[in-house]
Amino acid sequence: MPTLKIDGVEVTVPAQTTIIEAAERVGIEIPRYCYHPGLSVVGQCRMCQVEVERMPKLAIACNTPVADGMVVSTRSPKVEKARRGVLEFYLLNHPLDCPICDKGGECPLQDYTLTYGPGESRSVEEKVQRVKHKMLGPHIVFDAERCILCTRCVRFCHEIPKTGELGVFSRSDQSEINLFPGKVLDNAYSGNVIDLCPVGALTSRQYRFRSRPWDLVRHTESVCPLCSNGCNIVLDVRHRQRGEELLRIRPRENQAVNRWWMCDEGRFTFTSLDDPARLRVPTWREDGPRVEMAYDDLLLRVARAIRRVVEGHGPEAVGCIASSRQTNEELFLVRRFFREILGTPHLDFRVRPVQFQASDASEDGILRRTDKTANTRGARDLDILPGAGGLDVAGMIAAASEGRLKALFVFEEDLVRAFPDRPLREALGRLDLLVASSMFSTETTALAHMVLPALGFAEKEGSFTNFQGRIQKIHRALTPHVASQSLPEALRELAVDLGRDLGGIEPEQVWAAIGERPGAYQGIAWKDIGHLGLLPEES
């Protein structure tokens, strides 16, 4: 493996590694615009020029493979002059939009200019004028004046979703990136161009004018909950007087899961967290209208009802339908409560046809998958399944309609909607106790005795296991607005009301318990799950 020196730092890398990649390994960031590790190399921006001993001309680091004994300087006077020159050329036509440009504060053009560029302009020529704030599609705003023609967006659309909506039209300084007339930028991954664009030429419609990056107080690592791929993400939260606000979601690089990308649905769909229609307060309904009730009272009533059912009909009269939307920690505690503490064998999560197969499938050959929940694999790995003699979901519904099941807990699934062709309302109506948790009112919660407001993924600390079997952490980015507590807290209190002990409910404690048991997660501790997740067979 060749060894070379970059700015005096020695680095050994595999052959064919480019100088720009080798530099990154030793923490040297060579400035770049057109280069991106996930896209083809075009060598156009000329920002990554470096000086290589014995090469008469400067070389571009993105396309020059390392050689043994190579000596590279990224800050020599020749390089600095060339770089300053390139930046000057960029700024000739760049509009002075910083005050109104979303990219300001996280802009590589600003950053490199401040570090490497000229302080003042030498040009007195008129700048080229082009179209501004043009809606390219449902998610993207385009400003052609700001565009520096790095072509990352064009290459992205050709190479990743392979939809090729964007092209560079004309040539010379008349070059302009645009859509074919009448077309829209609406592939399922269009939002990635926002991350890719080094300037404010491609920005998010959703995020437009909403914040400055320095107002984003928290950048919480998490995982997208909208399908089984589990794309790694960052939640950008802005402080707001009456509670924080999640303003945008960006992908996090994880080569094994989502590379650098995420789909638009995951990126832009989080406004439900803030939706005023969200359930905030737990409610109780018994022979009358639904009423809000103090949390402790409500749980006491539920405990009483459970006791009545168990004493009258045995634990087998209680069932639980959990959800692959829940975290591993929630699922583990659910299982402990129902299978171990209450002793019922009736526990299942499989509500969707895809969950009966060994695995779901890729939806588009890129990132999206057919299972639109985050944790089917986790539910399977944690054995959220019927015990000996236990009923599955369909069985529980039938048992309820026949009066054999008296109490049913449904967590984060709208059964009525999931089984439109079954007599769900009748079945659920026969139950002595129906407890449902949900973020929003559903047909199922309308029938429930107790409705527990559920937390959104950004409000929980926990983990999902993606389709690959990779355990990935989600972290709390927002304080929940709901008046009730988390499901683990509810179950713990419920256990206490039943005279039992659920055990520790913090993720570390839950994983201590998980790790003790035989199975896919044996031996794993919460601290073992790193930023990029953990594949149990690799640990």
CB atoms within 10 A of CB 205: 16
For 306, the token pair is: 């459970």
Nearest to other proteins of 170, 271 (CB atom): 170
Nearest to other proteins of 36, 346 (CB atom): 36
Shortest CB 164 distance to other proteins, Å: 3
Q: 103 with 94: CB under 8 angstroms?
A: no
Residue found under tokens 């409610």 = 283
For 494, the token pair is: 């419920």
Nearest to other proteins of 86, 410 (CB atom): 86
Q: Which residues contact 517 (CB under 8 A, 6 or more apart)?
A: none
Interatomic CA distance for residues 453 and 450, integer angstroms: 10
Shortest CB 22 distance to other proteins, Å: 18
Nearest to other proteins of 179, 418 (CB atom): 179
Nearest to other proteins of 65, 515 (CB atom): 65
User: How would you list the strands of the sheet with 49-52, edge to edge?
Assistant: 9-12, 3-6, 71-73, 49-52, 59-60
Shortest CB 84 distance to other proteins, Å: 8
Nearest to other proteins of 41, 524 (CB atom): 41
The DSSP annotation for 111-173 comes to HHHHHHS-SS----SPPPP---SEE-SSSEEE-TTT-----HHHHHHHHSS----EEEES-GG
Nearest to other proteins of 46, 481 (CB atom): 46
Shortest CB 91 distance to other proteins, Å: 9
Shortest CB 264 distance to other proteins, Å: 19
Helices within 167-319 (DSSP H only): 192-196, 264-268, 295-313
Give which of 348, 354, 357 is closest to 387, Cα–Cα: 348
For 179, the token pair is: 């859509």
Name the amino acid, one letter, at 61: A
Angle at 426 between CA 425 and CA 429, to 5 degrees: 80
Nearest to other proteins of 54, 242 (CB atom): 54
Nearest to other proteins of 82, 347 (CB atom): 82
Shortest CB 90 distance to other proteins, Å: 6
Shortest CB 9 distance to other proteins, Å: 25
For 240, the token pair is: 């707001």
Shortest CB 122 distance to other proteins, Å: 5
CA 60 to chain centre: 34
Shortest CB 95 distance to other proteins, Å: 14
Residues that bind other proteins (CB under 8 A): 41-47, 49, 57-58, 60, 63, 81-82, 85-86, 88-90, 92-93, 122-126, 128, 148-149, 158, 163-175, 178-183
Helices within 269-392 (DSSP H only): 295-313, 328-335, 376-381
Nearest to other proteins of 93, 472 (CB atom): 93
Shortest CB 182 distance to other proteins, Å: 7
250-255 — which CB contacts under 8 Å span 24+ positions?
250/195, 251/192, 251/195, 252/221, 252/531, 254/532, 254/533
Shortest CB 179 distance to other proteins, Å: 6
Shortest CB 137 distance to other proteins, Å: 13
Nearest to other proteins of 174, 479 (CB atom): 174
Name the amino acid, one letter, at 341: I
Helices within 274-363 (DSSP H only): 295-313, 328-335
Nearest to other proteins of 88, 383 (CB atom): 88
Interatomic CA distance for residues 364 and 140, integer angstroms: 22
DSSP element (H, E) containing 490: helix 487-497
For 315, the token pair is: 């634990």
DSSP-derived pairing of the beta strands 433-438 and 450-453: parallel
Shortest CB 336 distance to other proteins, Å: 54
* DSSP-assigned beta bridge partners for residue 27: none
Nearest to other proteins of 151, 258 (CB atom): 151
